[in-house]
Amino acid sequence: MTTTFKTTLITAALCALAGTAAAQTVLKIGYATSKESHYGVGSTVFCDEMEKGTQGRYKCQQFPASALGGEREQIEAVQLGTQDLTNTSTGPLGNFVPETRIVDIPFLFRDYAHARHTMDGPIGQDLLKKLQGKGLIGLAWTENGFRHMTNSKRAIMTASDASGLKLRTMENKVHMEGYKTFGLLPTPMPFPELFTALQQGTVDGQENPIPVILASKFSQVQKHLSLTGHVYSPAVILLSPAVWAKLSEADKKAFVDAAQKGGAAQRKKVNDDEANGIAQLKKDGMQVIEKVDGESFRKAVAPAYANFAKEFGADKIAAIQAVK
Ligand code: PAF
């Protein structure tokens, strides 16, 4: 090989390397729970698929365990463009896009099949599009799960057992309005403050899906778990409009496809935790009430539906209830 040829080859290799390095954009994604949790599983599939779908031009840096703050803070940062992505529940999303609060109505969804069909169907997809008008790109719905109550005071079987308990809630006015009808004293608080609040007795209890109760080790600070399933908690992968605006049409599609695959993986992890997590929580010392009197909770919340109908439209609520 002549020296000139060698130099040309080296220069070409260096240029290719420099090209690859310059073309790779690292996006920060944050979420509330650990990398092993449902949010971590969904986010990892999203990140891997997004990297593959864009031939490595985009990749993620993951920030699990609320390392970038509470969900409300992270949504705000994505809106401002100081954070690229978040995989978040809809809990605080209504503070940015009020229409999404309709899916947070207690006892609106019958079961997982009903909730997932709704979010994947025209109603859910319309809601996702509404985010764009508020400076957020909703790539796909993921999932947090049906929420159940835990507390340190007593077993909850009926709504009257729940009455009087000081319960941490998300910063979500629909939840708070609903939970007041059970006689609970709702105390909104960002999730990163919750474990300490439970440990110190600032609140008696909290409510979250099984995957969160497991991942957050709430069995260490809560004795009673009641499978109230009082509200479905959807989640969503949000992207900053600043990043979206820079994507080609093909890359936009790759991001959306990746988010849908992430959502499917997250739902599968929710299923697995629902199937295996209760036995684990019992082993960890929690007293679990599996047969909750759901009717007592539904009866208690029924009058609040008049207000929800005023806020969201009775027809819109009925349309969700009618999804098969
Ligand atoms: O309780 C909450 O705030 C949410 O369910 C959580 C744990 C942040 C996950 O979305």
Tens of pLDDT, residue by residue over 165-209, are 999 999 999 999 999 999 999 999 999 999 999 999 999 999 999
Does the residue 163 lie in any domain? yes
Does the residue 246 lie in any domain? yes
286: domain CATH number?
3.40.190.170
Does the residue 11 lie in any domain? no
Query: How many whole angstroms from 54 Cα to the centroid of ligand 1?
Result: 30
Indicate if ligand 1 lies below 6 Å from the C-beta of 86.
Answer: no
The answer to whether 163 and 181 are in contact (CB under 8 A) is no
The residues, ordered by sequence, that sit 6+ positions from 77 with a Cβ below 8 Å of its Cβ are 68, 69, 83, 86
For ligand 1, atom 3, which residue shows the shortest CA distance? 191
On whether ipTM exceeds 0.90, the answer is yes
For ligand 1, atom 10, which residue shows the shortest CA distance? 89
Does the residue 112 lie in any domain? yes
The residues, ordered by sequence, that sit 6+ positions from 223 with a Cβ below 8 Å of its Cβ are 151, 152, 285, 286, 287
Token readout for 262 is: 């992430």
Looking at the whole model, is its pTM more than 0.95? no
Indicate if ligand 1 lies below 6 Å from the C-beta of 198.
Answer: no
Q: For residues 2 and 4, what is the distance between their CA atoms, to the nearest angstrom?
A: 5
Q: Which domain range does residue 31 map to?
A: 23-321
What are the pLDDT digits (tens) for 20-70? 444 799 999 999 999 999 999 999 999 999 999 999 999 999 999 999 999
Could you write out the three-class secondary structure of 52-78?
Answer: HHCCCCEEEEEECCCCCCCHHHHHHHH
Indicate if ligand 1 lies below 6 Å from the C-beta of 204.
Answer: no
Query: How many whole angstroms from 156 Cα to the centroid of ligand 1?
Result: 21
